[in-house]
Structure 1
Amino acid sequence: MVVVWHMVAQEDLATVFGRYVAEATFQSLPEEAIRAAKYSTLDTLGVILGASGLMDVMPAVVELTRDWGGKPESTLFGFGGKLPAVSAAFVNGSMGHGLDYDDHLPEGHHPSVTVLPALLAVAERKGGVTGEDFITALAVGQDLFARLRKNVTWKQDWFMTPVVGTLASAAACAKLLGLDAKQVADAIGIACTQAASTMQTAYGTGGDLRGMYGGFAAKAAVLSALLAEKGVKATSTPLEGNAAFLPVYFGEWDRDAMVADLGSDFHGASILYKLWPSCGVTHAYIDTALRLMGGPGRTDEIETIEVFGGDFAKQLSEPTEFRRRPPTSNDAKFSIPFTVSLALLNGTVRVGDFSPERRADPLVYEVASKVVFVDDPKYNWGKELPAGAVRLVLADGRELYGEAKHDETPGAAHNPLNWSQLVTKFEDCAGHAARPFEDTEIKQLVTTIDQLESVADIAALTRQLG
């Protein structure tokens, strides 16, 4: 990492990013960036719809924001009705990670949950936003998120999704509003005053915030961009000044890597999509356990399930009894014992598997009780999501061992989901929405997103989501 404390000859990164964002065009996007934007739109909106019906906290959140009232600008997905863009971004963003099923980078953390809900809220408020304009803004936001996420020194302290997501999303919203380079930089600077949350949001047990943190970042992003549009100005060096965002939050950052091939290499193209609705680190263990057993349904043959992992996997395995019988759906999605048990029993993990009834299922608990965590520092979380290993000790004395390689699991870099798989995932999630969606509505949504670059007004998409 390159430490930059005081900029003299170089412009602040906010200025550099502002110019890049303002100058980006749909025609400048590589094919893989357009593909990632469309895949993420389908994927994120499916998760939001599913979460609208599965997140117990959301009716109260919707009730609160409706009580606030205000100009009806932007749609509440899954619930219907419109609220001011800031409020709609908060509601829809609060559902984006509600199932722990949204997209993520190979390095970990979730680009689209903060960017996409904010953009759609701003698009409806502005009106007349074309599909090409929306895709461009989303691709730019995803790119900035990835560049910031990958090139800072991270100590598992700050919660990177809402922290860097607030900045990336504010820049994307500023792009959609048609702001100039200086105003985009101002939006980024304004967002710096609101970028927040620590990894305790993930590590901590119980509560609702682990599922809804994206809403706070989306709300802040919309507010930042709208303030910049109205002429509110940020300080001149919000990212790299002596007491600015990067030195205070991270201490070290690789400036050269952040700006390398800016405008031609879109890092959002590396985004990955989940096959299972749980923390990404659980996936390697789910996949390896199923592979070793040759499929589900033979749990009575297993005496012990040893899962080998590092610092982050330990958080998903302990306290032991708590992770075996998680009290909330968020805790269950963040549990290696629980998700591995589900997989060995069902052959998969589904969005409906985290209900109170399923968490209390004695058979699930019986298998989860066989899971034992083995601490191995070589599997600590480094530059990318960590690998691990699984050893199954069978009743007949045999031992089955396999490496849990994160980049080879379904949905990972070497085994990515295709459009057809994402459509199936979208259909499943939409079936759990707060209001029933007819099959014809779901098919029309998929068609609209598939043809997104041809849409004359993004409202053609958002009005189908209410």
Structure 2
Amino acid sequence: MAADARDVSRSMAEMAATVTLDALSGPALEAAKMSILDTLGVALAASGVEPAVQGLVDLVGEDGGRAESTVWGRGIRVPATNAAFANGAMAHCLDFDDQTPWGQHASSSVVPAALAVAERVGTVRGADLIAAVAAGQDIFARLRCHVGWRKDWNLSSVAGVYAAAAAAGRVLDLPSTTLHHALGIASQQSAGIAEVITGTGSDLRCVYAGFSARGAVTAALLAQRGLTGVEMLFEGPYGVFNTYFGGRHDRDAMLADLGTDFRGAGTLYKLWPSVGTSHSHIHATIELLAEHHLEPEDIDEIRVFVGDYHDVMCTPLDARRAPETLVDAKFSLPFLVALAAVHRSVRVAHFTDAGLHDARVRSLAAKVTPVLDASLDWKLELPPGRVEVVTNDGRKFQREGSDYPGSQQAPTSWDQLAQKFRECAAVAAHPPTPANVESVIDLVRDLESVPDVAAIVRRV
């Protein structure tokens, strides 16, 4: 970076502070709206079915405080920082939230932060919420793609807190200088080691977005009160890029078309509640069994061809074949492939204590064998996995898992997302009425015309 150049964070803050609906392309606008509906939905489902998040949500309720913002699916209102904490944790804990085409999750940090602040402020227009979410998604994508990720940091939380702080700052209508301070303050909550993601037996993998959402709201509110941040946040000698990524980043690519090309437009929406890196193997398994009219009992072995990151979902193999928690089950490739083979789908309803110990699934998971294939290693985009089924009579069938539902090649439609929302809302701790469910879907689809976004969240 030239000695007189401004830090990247300055440019990002200016974009986020000034973005309006008119700047967004149709795909970026639709992506922001779809992410809002999707995030609300998966958090509602988590409120009712994921034990790992309940202690965190209960703590938020016990803390009480000013009734500023809604905890989705729980029927309570708490301070905005705590609402963002609870909703962010619920938004990711089923691993059902949206993702970028390159992996990692923006919206489970961005949307809870933006909506919590919107309720606190009051009378925030839908058009401004869309702009805020689109800005956050764009910043996240630019950071995701143009830093030298070593797979040792959890990028979803490391970068998510900045994306969410930008969105919260835009909802607060902070001027660009103040929003830049918010990004600097957010650095104090930019964290997340990859062991949280890859290790077994921990609940942290499912709740981490709560910490980045809460940190983002705190940062934006402190900046609004005059606390200053860090001038050279990203590119300083001891800034984010040098500290987290060994100085490896592409500044020009990160700033290219900033403010005109909003990269959240490529956001992908899951139709299966499991880690996104498993979906190609799940798809290949379902298609193979259907094409060749196979039943689980016909199978002698399932070989899953894996690159470096796929292999993380297979290690340690015995634990991945027989996960002991619902959190681990959603990140265990042998278990997920077996689940898909038995049920020909992967649904929220499969992740219960009974589902975790389903004898047919466990028996088949024991027959899943990972086969290392360096051509499937994760660079920028993760190559689709490949599956080979070996039958008891010696036949072999192989398929690549490209074009899985929800991928770039088979994107999720509004109708599919609406049905996903209905199914998620139905299992919330306090399910919204059917009328409120349909009202939320309609309001979000026409969000640019909504005068106050509180009308949406107070229905959930």
- What is the TM-score with the length of structure 1 in the denominator? 0.96
Aligned to 1:141: 136
For 2:313, the aligned partner's letter is L
**1:386, CA displacement in angstroms?**
3.2
- Deviations 1:79-129, CA, capped at 9 Å, x for gaps: 011111001100000101111010001110011000000000000000110
1:317 aligns with 2:314: yes
TM-score with structure 2 setting the length: 0.97
The Cα offsets for residues 226-273 of structure 1, whole Å up to 9 and x where unpaired, read as: 011011111221111110111111121001011101111110001101
CA separation in 2, counterparts of 1:273 and 1:360? 28
- Structure 1 outlier segments of 4+, above 6 Å: none
Deviation at 1:297, TM superposition (A): 6.2
The AA in structure 2 aligned to 1:441 is N
The answer for unaligned runs of 5 or more in structure 2 is: none
1:361 aligns with 2:335: no
What is the SS of the residue equivalent to 1:57? helix
Q: Distance in 2 between matches of 1:385 and 1:177?
A: 36
Show the counterpart of 2:198: 203
Q: Is the 8 A contact 2:376 2:385 kept in 1?
A: yes
- Structure 2 counterpart of 1:299: 296
Q: Distance in 2 between matches of 1:67 and 1:262?
A: 42
The equivalent residue for 1:458 is 453
Correspondence for 1:120: 115
The answer to whether the Cα contact below 8 Å between 2:196 and 2:202 also exists between their aligned partners in 1 is no
Q: Verify: 1:383 aligned to 2:380, yes or no.
A: yes
Pairwise CA distance, 1:347: 1.1
1:252 aligns with 2:279: no
In 1, Cα distance between equivalents of 2:39 and 2:388? 34
Of 78, 85, 94, the match for 2:80: 85
Q: What residue identity is the alignment partner of 2:380?
A: K
- Asked if the contact 1:163–1:196 (Cα under 8 Å) also holds between the matched residues in 2, the reply is yes
Residue 270 of structure 1: aligned partner = 266
Name 1:15's counterpart in structure 2.
10
Match of 1:287 in 2: 283
Unaligned runs of 5+ in 1: none
Query: Does the residue aligned with 2:133 lie in a helix, a strand or coil?
Result: helix
Residue 331 (str. 1) matches residue 328 (str. 2):
yes
- Post-superposition Cα deviations, 1:205-237, rounded to whole Å, max 9, x if no partner, equal 112111110000000000000011011111221
Partner of 2:145: 150
- RMSD, aligned α-carbons: 1.2
In structure 1, the residue matched to 2:216 is: 221
**Aligned residues, how many?**
458
CA distance in 2, matches of 1:107, 1:58: 26
Secondary structure of residue in 2 paired with 1:327: coil
User: Equivalent residue for 1:348?
Assistant: 345
Residue 436 of structure 1, CA deviation: 2.7
Distance in 2 (CA, whole Å) between partners of 1:235 and 1:271 is 30
* CA-to-aligned-CA distance 1:394-440 (integer Å, 9 cap, x gap): 122211112233xx211101111101111111111111100133222
1:412 is matched with 407
- Which of 93, 101, 106 lines up with 1:106 in the alignment? 101
d(CA) in 1 for partners of 2:170, 2:442:
26
Is 2:376–2:382's contact at 8 Å kept on the other side of the alignment? no
Q: How many angstroms apart in 2 are the aligned matches of 1:411 and 1:283? A: 9
Q: Is the 8 A contact 1:73 1:83 kept in 2?
A: yes
Q: Is the 8 A contact 1:309 1:387 kept in 2?
A: no
Find the counterpart in structure 2 of residue 401 from structure 1.
398
Residue 444 of structure 1 and its aligned partner are, at CA, apart by: 1.3
Instruction: Give how far 1:180 is off.
Output: 0.7
Aligned to 1:237: 232
Q: Does structure 1 residue 429 correspond to structure 2 residue 424?
A: yes
Matches within 5 A, 1:38-187: 38-187=33-182
Change (3 A) 1:419 1:42: same
SS in 1 for 2:209: helix
